A and B are shown apart, each in its own frame.
Chain A
Amino acid sequence: MSTDISWLIGGPQGSGVESAANIFSKACASMGYHIFGKREFYSNIKGEHSYFTVRVSDSIIRSNVDNVTLMVAFDAETIFRHYSEIIQNGAIIYDSDLVQTSADEVHTIDAPYKSRLAKHLGPKPTIQNALDFAKNNGAKLYPISFKTILSNMADETNNPRIKGMARMYNVLGVSVSLGILKMPPKTLLDAIGSIFAKKQAIADLNKNAATYSYNYATAKFPDFAFTLNPTSKSQNTILVQGYQGTALGKMACGCRFQPYYPITPASDESVFLESNEIVNVKDDRPGSTIVVQTEDEISAIGMTIGGALTGTRSATCTSGPGFSLMAEALGWAGINEVPIVVTLYQRSGPSTGLPTRHGQDDLLFAIHAGHGEFPKIVYASGDVEESFYDTARCFNYSEQYQLPVIHMMDKFLASSVVTCKRFDVDKIKINRGKLLEKLEPGANYKRFAFTDDNLSPRSKLGLENGIFWNTGDESDEAGHITEDPEMRIKMMDKRQSKLDYVLKTIPDDEQAVSFGIEEISIISWGSPKGPILDAIDLLKKENIKIGFIQVKLLHPFPKDRLGYLFKNVKTIIDVESNHVGQLGELIKQNLQRTPNYYILKYTGRTMTSTEIYDSIKNIIANKAKARQVLTHGA
């Protein structure tokens, strides 16, 4: 029988939910399982409800599901938020001291949710009510006193300090879970060892606690219906945090300069780059990535452009609010044909919006960002593995076509933890376009010289005989200001022609990927890819065939490629994490077709495959409205 379980751990922000999830994921991955984890959290440092869902399967998975197999709750709020998600024969591991807690006592639960709870569980709901509900649904209840475990452990090991170590609850939670799931204890201990590799004393303490609670759980709760035995392990697998895809892509393809301003969910990428700022280079001395924390995002993109002018592959990384500030400089890079990459980890807007939550709100904004008309590329990745290779593509595009590239990522991708094939650097090619390395004296170099393909040889600051000028004004071939009407036409035509050239020269399967075309086909972009593919797989088992086209190049819009792919499609379903259906707007504009159905989500929570599966079933059963809005997720 195949294994596919969903494990959820929740607690107040700052209580170690994330490290617990990392240990759990690492342990499961090392047994050969595929992992898909995601983190949800408030815009808060300590106290608000945060949780991590890790799906574990012996076949490939690309998304989370709605239901939870096993939940660990350190606090009352986790139970109040998730009690209804537990499947039949699933279980809740909870702190037995919490049973009498009422929702009113949990001050972090907001009023709207309290009133929904009261509707569902009756007035003045308590943890007992929530647990009863789960039990009636067939879930098992595994009460544990975390306090007593620590206290017993302290007595047995003669180490009274342990008694008060509430921060160890997370490791207890993981260990009890793995005990209940009957995973070999060595895997757990190895995972703890690797997570705390740099802190030997802490690792030892946690290993002791893990062994103790693991044994406790196997003895006390031996009857759980689901187990995690070692499974066949595929070679070359890595367990990777979402933001590491673009970060490692940048390192591998030679990005050596990244100014940034802190913003969720983008900063993790920059911090990772800085943590690994010295890079190994084959047969050469080490290189380095200069990561600068700037005073704002305007400075970040200004510095990025300055770096690109010296011939350095340069990028910045931001989210919506920061990207808004970058719009003016983007136009400067456009008119001066400067290759920069802006990695845009979208979140839910507008304004501050839902600052730690997911969204795909910024597609149309990215396409139109900046005043005036100038060419740029907007390119979107659909999953973490893809984002590694796409990062290298984005740098190549930026240098080949000499323009800014906006690489669309999002919070879903940034804060997921997944297993995937080890990134293969050999699959990356580096194309620096018409970058000059040398010029002879008397070359009479002109930065914006007219050429047959409208791309001028590109000098860099510091190159001998290659002095050049840039200006945000319209310029002549040398880069000096001009307001001459004829020169204006020539220069505008030169730059704008790149958009056609991009469509002509970027290979079809880099523009849009077809996962099969059927009478009913989905169109989407970015992170819904995973949930969509998993939903399609589920439907396939019921002999329902659904096509799927993932658009990666969003600007310039690949209308020929998509027109061809959708030629015989009768029903188009547009799936996106926004309110407008922004890709749908582009389809209307460019293909003169209106998507027949929209599946949209803008709660700030990520899509699950369950939701997409259900929505498509509605469509097939002719029960769906043209616009289905998804709601799952606390």
Chain B
Amino acid sequence: MELKLGDYKTEVHNDWCPGCGDFGIVNAIQMSLAEMQIPRHKAAIFSGIGCSGKTSHFINVNGVHTLHGRVLTFAQGAKLTNPDLTVIAAGGDGDGLGIGAGHFVAAGRRNLDLTYIIFNNGVYGLTKGQASPTLKLGEKTKSLPSPNTNYSVNPIGLAIASGFTFVARSYAYDVRHLKDTITAAVKHKGLSFIDVLQPCPTYNDINTRDWYAGMDEVTKVTKPRIYKLNETDYDPVVHYDEENELNQKLTQALIKSLEWGDKIPIGIFYKNEIISQYDKRITDKIPNYLENPPASQTISENGNPSTDISEILNSLSV
């Protein structure tokens, strides 16, 4: 039976602020799951803490609302033990790039087959608008007592440097683009990352919906700032296993990620399916890992252990 978009929605009351970019992201995730027809029990949404952390409650698949900064750790544990799951991790920019930055980098090194979506709004909304790691140096959003004193982290650049093999950006108010990006990310074989520009209507009065649309009063820009990489001749894919090819694609992605201000690219910055996925690295050591992963293994029969450790015990015998 075909699953409909409505099947992926829960009835949980949504308490995000009116006009919040998060709505677009939840919709896009639901649309993408419906498009891919992923059985509900085989999908798991892991979320961090903050407004974005509530995401998992609104989607009618397994939902694990974890700890601040730790979403990737939980998500990787589930994927490693049950590789059959479609795992999507979601969290805020403070969650993933501030308190959770170490896990972000380490996850890149592993390259497990899962998707991580960061809701990037430049502020800590749920604690009343402090600066997040992506807020630009010197910017003063509404509730900051003084301008931001920290340089901003570059999420795309950090993902590329850390080893993510699919790195993209999308925009919360372009739900179709976001849905397509999520689908591409989930289908990617390896760890995918989507930096979603997500205006916070309550606390970020700089990077507003109007600002992204190029209609803000501050800069007098009149064209949309956002443009799509796939409408240019930009090619994000690493096509063959050669150092020059890899370096060229990494460098162009990094340079592209630095574009900001009047022109902001969205789309896929980098995609590399040549680097081995983590499960391949496991099957190199444990050949039947994918057919018989931890979650499916028989460990007991009628309450008695099925594991036979006699070989090891023999080697210890005196």
> Do these two chains really belong together in a complex?
yes
Write the residues of chain A forming the contact surface with B, with a CB cutoff of 8 angstroms: 26, 29-30, 236-240, 244, 248, 251-254, 256-257, 259, 276-290, 292, 294-296, 298-314, 328-329, 332, 392, 419, 422-423, 425-426, 428-432, 460-473, 479-481
Docked complex Cα distance between A290 and B296 (Å)? 13
Q: In this assembly, does B147 line the interface, its C-beta being within 8 Å of a C-beta of chain A?
A: no
Q: Which of B85, B300, B311, B313 contacts A310 (CB 8 A)?
A: B85
> Contacts A26-B318, A238-B317, A464-B41: A307 and B77 contacting too (C-beta < 8 A)?
yes
The secondary structure that dominates the A interface is mixed
Q: Which of B225-233, B248-256, B286-294 contacts A (4 or more CB under 8 A)?
A: B286-294
**B81 lies within 8 A of A314 (CB):** yes
Chain B residues lying within 8 Å of A304, measured Cβ to Cβ, are: 77
Q: In this assembly, does B70 line the interface, its C-beta being within 8 Å of a C-beta of chain A?
A: yes
Q: List the B residue with the shortest CB-CB distance to A332.
A: B67
Q: Which of B85, B294, B300, B313 contacts A290 (CB 8 A)?
A: B294
25 CB contacts below 8 A, A to B, read: A236-B317, A253-B299, A281-B298, A286-B288, A287-B294, A287-B299, A288-B289, A298-B103, A301-B73, A302-B73, A305-B77, A306-B75, A306-B81, A310-B295, A423-B309, A425-B305, A425-B307, A461-B295, A462-B295, A465-B41, A467-B40, A467-B61, A470-B66, A472-B67, A479-B63
Q: List the A residue with the shortest CB-CB distance to B71.
A: A302
The secondary structure that dominates the B interface is mixed
Q: Which of B64, B103, B292, B312 contacts A309 (CB 8 A)?
A: B64
**B305 lies within 8 A of A279 (CB):** no
Chain B residues lying within 8 Å of A307, measured Cβ to Cβ, are: 77-78, 80-81, 294
Docked complex Cα distance between A422 and B297 (Å)? 26
Number of interface residues of B (CB under 8 A): 66
Q: List the A residue with the shortest CB-CB distance to B106.
A: A295
Q: In this assembly, does B138 line the interface, its C-beta being within 8 Å of a C-beta of chain A?
A: no
Chain B residues lying within 8 Å of A240, measured Cβ to Cβ, are: 316
Docked complex Cα distance between A296 and B316 (Å)? 32
Q: Which of B266-318 contact A (CB under 8 A)?
A: 282, 285-286, 288-289, 291-292, 294-295, 297-301, 303-313, 316-318
Docked complex Cα distance between A518 and B87 (Å)? 59
Docked complex Cα distance between A290 and B77 (Å)? 10
Q: Closest CB of chain A to B65's CB: distance in Å?
A: 4
**A461 lies within 8 A of B44 (CB):** yes
Chain A residues lying within 8 Å of B44, measured Cβ to Cβ, are: 461
Q: In this assembly, does B54 line the interface, its C-beta being within 8 Å of a C-beta of chain A?
A: yes
Q: Closest CB of chain B to A287's CB: distance in Å?
A: 4
**B81 lies within 8 A of A257 (CB):** yes
> Contacts A429-B304, A462-B82, A463-B41: A277 and B286 contacting too (C-beta < 8 A)?
yes
**A251 lies within 8 A of B41 (CB):** no
**Which residue of A282, A308, A392, A467 has the most chain B CB atoms within 10 A of its CB atom?**
A467
**A472 lies within 8 A of B65 (CB):** yes
Chain A residues lying within 8 Å of B308, measured Cβ to Cβ, are: 279-282, 425
**A285 lies within 8 A of B64 (CB):** no
Chain B residues lying within 8 Å of A471, measured Cβ to Cβ, are: 56-57, 64-65
**A302 lies within 8 A of B304 (CB):** no
**A480 lies within 8 A of B80 (CB):** no
Q: Closest CB of chain A to B179's CB: distance in Å?
A: 22
Chain B residues lying within 8 Å of A328, measured Cβ to Cβ, are: 67
**Contacts A279-B307, A287-B298 supplied; 8 other A-B pairs, CB < 8 Å:** A290-B282, A295-B102, A302-B70, A307-B80, A310-B85, A426-B304, A465-B41, A480-B12
Q: In this assembly, does B42 line the interface, its C-beta being within 8 Å of a C-beta of chain A?
A: yes
Q: Which of B42-69 contact A (CB under 8 A)?
A: 42, 44, 46, 49, 54, 56-57, 60-67
**B318 lies within 8 A of A294 (CB):** no
> Contacts A287-B292, A288-B294, A328-B67: A299 and B41 contacting too (C-beta < 8 A)?
no
Q: Which of A236, A237, A313, A467 contacts B299 (CB 8 A)?
A: A313
Docked complex Cα distance between A307 and B81 (Å)? 6
Chain B residues lying within 8 Å of A299, measured Cβ to Cβ, are: 70, 73, 102-103, 106
Q: List the A residue with the shortest CB-CB distance to B75.
A: A306
**B306 lies within 8 A of A332 (CB):** no
Chain A residues lying within 8 Å of B84, measured Cβ to Cβ, are: 462
Q: Closest CB of chain B to A436's CB: distance in Å?
A: 12
Q: In this assembly, does B105 line the interface, its C-beta being within 8 Å of a C-beta of chain A?
A: yes
Q: In this assembly, does B76 line the interface, its C-beta being within 8 Å of a C-beta of chain A?
A: yes
> Contacts A279-B307, A472-B67: A288 and B292 contacting too (C-beta < 8 A)?
yes
